[in-house]
Amino acid sequence: MSSEPIDTPTKILQATLKLLEAPDAKLPTMSDIARATGISRQAVYLHFPSRTDLLVAATRYQDRLNDIDTGLAPSRGARSGAERLDAFVTAWGNYIPKIYGVARAIMAVTDTDAEAAAAWNTRMQDMREGCSAAISALAEDGTLPPGTDIEQATDLLWTILSVRNWENLTQTCGWSQDCYIATIRGMAMATLARDLGALTDVLACTDPPA
């Protein structure tokens, strides 16, 4: 813990993340955030013009903290396309739990707030880059199923790796993180890579849901 003073915007962001990442996870109001920060509700508005802006800023702050790119390094270093796909799926799949609290809040306001939807879309677009790169690598290897459209394969991988799917499997169905990773890796390989060996034990996790 550093002893240097922290500026108020950062304190607000920290408090927001803490609330969003709490296990019981109600969606916090501006009052909640202000109280958690130890300042007045109106003071929050001095630094963030709206609730949506604050949530978006919180995602960016969190990305900085988690340093997403380091996790993706093995993916870029992969030799074959299949290897790259595999590494990317694993890296992203393990990143999701770190952002889930914030993602949940953003996705919740997305239905009513166009600006939030745009922000979330932008964020997911970054992830789509990784999908696109993995698919392209497969295409160069010729391991993509014949006649496959690159854009379309990217869309599909992007959808498979959505936070909603992670949420469904781990939160609703109760899968362990390891089980999720193993299964999604298997499904991505089975669907997108001609690597038929990977088809074996796609769905044979040793760790069944609760």
Partner DNA sequence: ATGTCAATTTACACAGTGTCAAGCAAACGA
Partner DNA sequence: TCGTTTGCTTGACACTGTGTAAATTGACAT
Quick one: what does residue 138 bind among its own copies, DNA, none, with the CB cut-off 5 to 8 Å set by partner type? none
Nearest to 100 by CA among 32, 11, 180, 37: 180
Residues near its own copies (CB under 8 A): 27, 104, 107-108, 111-112, 121, 144-149, 151-153, 155-156, 158-159, 162, 164-165, 168-169, 172-173, 175, 179, 183, 186-187, 190-192, 196, 199-205, 208-209
Among its own copies, DNA, none, residue 31 binds (CB under 5-8 Å by kind): DNA
Q: How far is the CB of 131 from its own copies (least distance, A)?
A: 12
Other CB atoms within 10 Å distance of the CB of residue 3: 4
Q: Comparing C-alpha atoms, which of 52, 29, 39 is closest to residue 9?
A: 39
Residue 69 exposure: Cα atoms within 13 Å on the Cβ side: 2
Q: How many helices, marked H, and strands, marked E, lie in the chain? A: 10, 0
Cα gap 203→172, rounded to integer Å: 18
Give, as ranges, the residues between 21 and 80 that touch DNA (CB under 7 A): 29-31, 38-43, 45-47, 49-52
Pick what 108 binds: its own copies, DNA, none; C-beta below 5 to 8 Å, kind-dependent.
Answer: its own copies
Q: In angstroms, what is the minimal distance from the CB of 159 to DNA?
A: 30
Cα pseudo-dihedral 168, 207, 97, 15, rounded to 10: 100
Nearer to DNA, 38 or 77 (CB): 38
If phi > 0 it is left, if psi is from -120 to 50 it is alpha, else beta; for residue 25 that is left
Q: Among DNA, its own copies, none, what binds residue 49 when CB lies within 5 to 8 Å by partner kind? A: DNA
Rule CB under 7 A: which residues touch DNA?
A: 8, 29-31, 38-43, 45-47, 49-52
